[in-house]
Structure 1
Amino acid sequence: MTHESTSPRTAAAATEAAPPRRSRLTGNLGTGSIAFMVIAAAAPLTVIGGNAPLAIGQGNGAGAPVGFLLASLVLLLFAVGFVAMTPFVKEAGAFFSYVTIGLGSRLGMGTAYVALVAYTAIQAGIYGYMGWAIMDLVRTLGGPEIHWSVFAILTLVVVGLLGYRHIELSSKVLGVALVLELLVMMIVNVAVIVNGGPEGRSLASFDPQVFLTPGLGVAVLFALTGFIGFESTAIYRDEAREPSRTIPRATYLAVGIIGVFYTISVWVLVVAAGPASVVEVAQQTLFGSKNMLLDTAGDFAGGLTRSVMQILLITSLFACVLSFHNIVARYQFALARIGSMPAALGRVHDRHQSPAASSLVQSVTALVIIGIFVVIGLDPLVQVFGFMAGVATIGMVMMMLLTTLAVVVFFLRNPRLRKNPWTGTVIPVVAVLALAVSAWLVLSNFTMITSGSVAVSIGLALIPPAALVAGAIVNRKDGGRTVDIQLEKL
């Protein structure tokens, strides 16, 4: 999005908000690199190990794979409108840029604040999960008892160093981590499919009598939380090789790969345990007496694969938290460029060509949040991760719903820009309805995500809406006038 104007008043406002000359990120990221970073943010191995047992044990049992499939379809519907509008969004601000153009600057800035809160929350939650996972591994190997926060802070330091440098370095690290975790899960998937489980290669998961139960909504809920961050393809716009082509391709590729991977892998867990026994196995995992994913790996692919997978679960979390760090740093950077955050956050590092100042601020923010969790004495897995994942899930659904509404309104106001009524109107309207149902599922089952009391869950659920209101009040310094100018040029 540009900030030029033929009006002296608008020009003055734009000049006031303009950051220093070196304010635009550069890069040569291709479709694969961006898709890899987005998929890494989804932490597929962690989702299969954590969300899948929840969807099975508390949801619709053997029918849980259909819940992941339905969540994938909802996000695919969202992606259609998102991609259709992408050529007309020139600002690397992801959701808030789309909402600003479609629904106005106030809701746009509100969406930006929701994004900052949601992604900062999930990042902090993953630091807690990461600290617990490494602590548990050290304890399992006979090492000393070390507080989880030590490992969380060490992870934060490494993430901060990578985030401070050019995005190409992060993309390579994330690419390697992602390939390894996908590879080990594929080995397990093939082993289970080749050998079959107690009931053979059962397809009971896809039987309507099995998946069409009241617990289907719960399965969809936990599936949706596994997609947090998938839309961040647009946040890398300035660093993409050909944004108009790269961003749409990366979005579809990310949704497709994640959706197929989740659905097949959850089905494999059902096959491995047997449809008749899978709920019991999943619930034993939830109570800590078993580990559904690791046990399946050990039983079907050998002890070495199990050990490798346990280590890769940690690298999966690392890739995830690095991805979210980069996303938040770029959100802050984009907001600084339009004058809604301190100008220093909108500067590009001379040597690394990265949003270094924004990255550093994000590292400090995460450190402060971890410190607060430690002082309060929260459990790193159940409370830190559970609470923060809840905040992020509500924030994600809110942002997608607002973005899809923005797509519908944008093309209704600008019919000459709509190349296809299906991609510009019909499918986005269907996506709005699907996301509204998703929002209801999240809110009606919110205590399952947070594992907290009703009072705590209500307090956490109100954080994203409060961020939306705060952002709408703050708005942007140019009052959204440049948005009108941009639309006139389209």
Structure 2
Amino acid sequence: MSTASEAAGAETASSNNVDSPGLRGNMGVLELIFTVVAYNGPVVVFLGFIPVAVLLGNGVGTPVAFLVCGLIVAMLAVGLLTMSARLKKPGGFYALITAGLGRVAGLGSGFAALTCYFVALLSAYALGGIALDTAIVNIFHGPHVAWWVWAGLMLVVTGVLGHFNISFSSRVLTVFLACELLLMIAYDISVLAKGGAHGIGFDSFTPHQALSGSISIAFLFGMGLFGGFEATVIFRDEVRNPERTIPLATYGVVALLAGLYAVTAWCFVNSYGAVAVMDAVNKNLVNASTDSIKQYTGQFAYDAATVMLFTSSFALALAAHNITARYVFNLGADGILPRRFGQAHERHVSPHRASFALGVVALLVLAVFVIAKVPEGDLYARLAGLYSYAFVILLVLVALAIGVFLVRDRVHGKAVGPALASLVAFGVLCVTLVLATTNFTLLTGATGALKNVLIIAIWGITLAGGALALYLKRNRAEVYNSIGRQ
């Protein structure tokens, strides 16, 4: 198990990139924020997630649930930034969990993270294929084309962009995300300016509504909104002035996501009225958001939202591809995967080989889904739910790792507050994981044997990483010692 003193001793070498294969970039605060927020797909959340959260969670009180979840993630972010500032290593959760809980847990978390973001990537391809076909048929009156054709096109484009430096992808993501934010802000302003259905009400923030419905389900859904916030740490070597950029971007991401989704959920509730919104999502869950957009913001915004469901899915896929490729890169640099995957491009200083390998694997997996004739709607929903479950596992592990590391740290001191915040977050996240397990069918739509297979698979992959670490400890000590970018 790594100790805080060992991590501190390695800090200088790591910060000077002595042991880093050399990813480089020049992203600033806004570029990093936009890159991470794009991973959340704000329009995807608005059109497909918020109505579900209202229906199955705590109804009119959903905005409060989103804000509370944002507070929990902010508490975790305090510890994450404190710990990452002392380690100064790339690798994201993989590196942090290794430093806090040891190499066995670290490699297990690396496998879990790789699976988590790869599943998110596949779900984005599926949703993007469906969304683009819908836009072409309904908006542009073009021919129907199978979803997997468009998904394959998305895969090729993300692979090409992933070959180049992250700064290029960040510019693409910035454009797409700016359009998404403009749409959601325009919707929010329209609802507020028109007074909603029956005047703007604040029922969502009353104790009665905030504590109504299924608080546990609302909290489970709410935590899923903040997926990918760790990417600010993953891109450490690819931002300018990381000591300033990463903290500002991390807090900026959490604040933007919590505020944006809470305000939009509140406006969505007001667009139907606190009394009628539950009937609206019960009767027309799929189109509740788009119908509200059309009513308050007009036909053009409605058509734009239909198109942006695709662009948001593409931005999500590109961000997921970039994050997953960096996990492949870091595992390759440590010798867990073939070391060639951990080598940066000489000119673009990008994880080009990891990106290409990821694209090939994603193509093969999508081909299996197509050959097996898995319904695209079921495919997206189940993959998205599986991602959310794996993400909660990662959050539990990293919260514990941060708390343990900071409590154990005797070199720097003054970490009591961040350590306590992380351990409180750990307790809350443990409850969330139990809820996610007991409500796995609701989360993924999987029942019976398939439900058990999926749960066993995600835990099995995590445990397989730990078992591989034990094998390496006995048979390949030099690889074992490098786990977690140590």
Task: Normalising by structure 2, report the TM-score.
Answer: 0.92
Q: Does 1:143 align with 2:139?
A: no
Q: Residue by residue, what CA displacement relative to the aligned partner does 1:207-244 show, whole Å, maximum 9, x if unpaired?
A: 11112124122122222222221211111011111222
Q: Give yes or no for contact 2:180–2:312 (8 Å, CA) kept in 1.
A: yes
Q: Give yes or no for contact 1:51–1:226 (8 Å, CA) kept in 2.
A: no
Where 2:112 maps in the other structure, the secondary structure is: helix
Change (3 A) 1:148 1:482: closer
Q: What is the distance in 2 between the residues matched to 1:466 and 1:68?
A: 31
Q: What is the distance in 1 between the residues matched to 2:437 and 2:116?
A: 15
Q: What is the distance in 2 between the residues matched to 1:182 and 1:362?
A: 29
Q: Does 1:437 align with 2:431?
A: yes
Partner of residue 401, structure 1: 396
Q: Residue by residue, what CA displacement relative to the aligned partner does 1:164-219 show, whole Å, maximum 9, x if unpaired?
A: 11111100000111111001110110010111122210111111111212412212
Alignment of 1:16-415 (within 5 A): 23-141=21-139, 142-286=141-285, 288=286, 291-381=287-377, 383-415=378-410
Q: What is the distance in 2 between the residues matched to 1:55 and 1:189?
A: 18
Q: What is the distance in 2 between the residues matched to 1:20 and 1:248?
A: 23
Q: Residue by residue, what CA displacement relative to the aligned partner does 1:14-66 show, whole Å, maximum 9, x if unpaired?
A: xxxxx999921011111211111110001111111111011111222211112
Q: What is the distance in 2 between the residues matched to 1:198 and 1:239?
A: 47
Deviation at 1:76, TM superposition (A): 1.1
Q: Residue by residue, what CA displacement relative to the aligned partner does 1:417-448 show, whole Å, maximum 9, x if unpaired?
A: 2324111x211111111111211221222211
Q: Does 1:428 align with 2:422?
A: yes
Partner of residue 14, structure 2: none
Q: Give yes or no for contact 2:59–2:213 (8 Å, CA) kept in 1.
A: no
Q: Which amino acid aligns with 2:393?
A: M
Q: What is the distance in 1 between the residues matched to 2:183 and 2:386?
A: 31
Q: What is the distance in 2 between the residues matched to 1:53 and 1:457?
A: 24
Q: Which amino acid aligns with 1:44?
A: P
Q: What is the distance in 1 between the residues matched to 2:232 and 2:484?
A: 25
Q: What is the distance in 1 between the residues matched to 2:360 and 2:485?
A: 37
Q: What is the distance in 1 between the residues matched to 2:209 and 2:251?
A: 29
Q: What is the distance in 2 between the residues matched to 1:25 and 1:274?
A: 50
Q: Give yes or no for contact 2:129–2:151 (8 Å, CA) kept in 1.
A: yes
Q: What is the distance in 2 between the residues matched to 1:193 and 1:485?
A: 49
Q: Give yes or no for contact 2:334–2:485 (8 Å, CA) kept in 1.
A: no
> Between Structure 1 and Structure 2, how many residues are aligned?
465
Q: What is the distance in 1 between the residues matched to 2:461 and 2:482?
A: 23
Where 1:416 maps in the other structure, the secondary structure is: coil
Q: Give yes or no for contact 1:44–1:226 (8 Å, CA) kept in 2.
A: no
Change (3 A) 1:262 1:485: closer
Structure 2: give runs of 5+ residues left out of the alignment: 7-16
Deviation at 1:483, TM superposition (A): 7.8
Where 1:462 maps in the other structure, the secondary structure is: helix
Change (3 A) 1:333 1:273: same
Change (3 A) 1:213 1:96: same
Q: Which amino acid aligns with 2:250?
A: T
Q: What is the distance in 1 between the residues matched to 2:263 and 2:64?
A: 10
Change (3 A) 1:301 1:364: same
Q: Which amino acid aligns with 2:396?
A: L
Q: What is the distance in 2 between the residues matched to 1:30 and 1:340?
A: 31
Task: Normalising by structure 1, report the TM-score.
Answer: 0.91
Partner of residue 9, structure 1: none
Q: Give yes or no for contact 1:105–1:479 (8 Å, CA) kept in 2.
A: no
Q: Give yes or no for contact 1:387–1:460 (8 Å, CA) kept in 2.
A: no
Change (3 A) 1:132 1:485: closer
Partner of residue 461, structure 1: 455
Where 2:111 maps in the other structure, the secondary structure is: helix
Change (3 A) 1:143 1:428: same
Change (3 A) 1:91 1:268: same
Q: What is the distance in 2 between the residues matched to 1:48 and 1:216?
A: 20
Q: Which amino acid aligns with 1:348?
A: A
Q: Which amino acid aligns with 1:471?
A: G
Q: What is the distance in 1 between the residues matched to 2:50 and 2:40?
A: 13
Where 1:230 maps in the other structure, the secondary structure is: coil
Deviation at 1:109, TM superposition (A): 0.5
Q: Give yes or no for contact 1:69–1:263 (8 Å, CA) kept in 2.
A: yes
Partner of residue 464, structure 2: 470
Q: Which amino acid aligns with 2:410?
A: P
Change (3 A) 1:331 1:482: closer
Structure 1: give runs of 5+ residues left out of the alignment: 7-18
Change (3 A) 1:29 1:484: closer
Stretch moving more, 433-442 or 36-45: 433-442
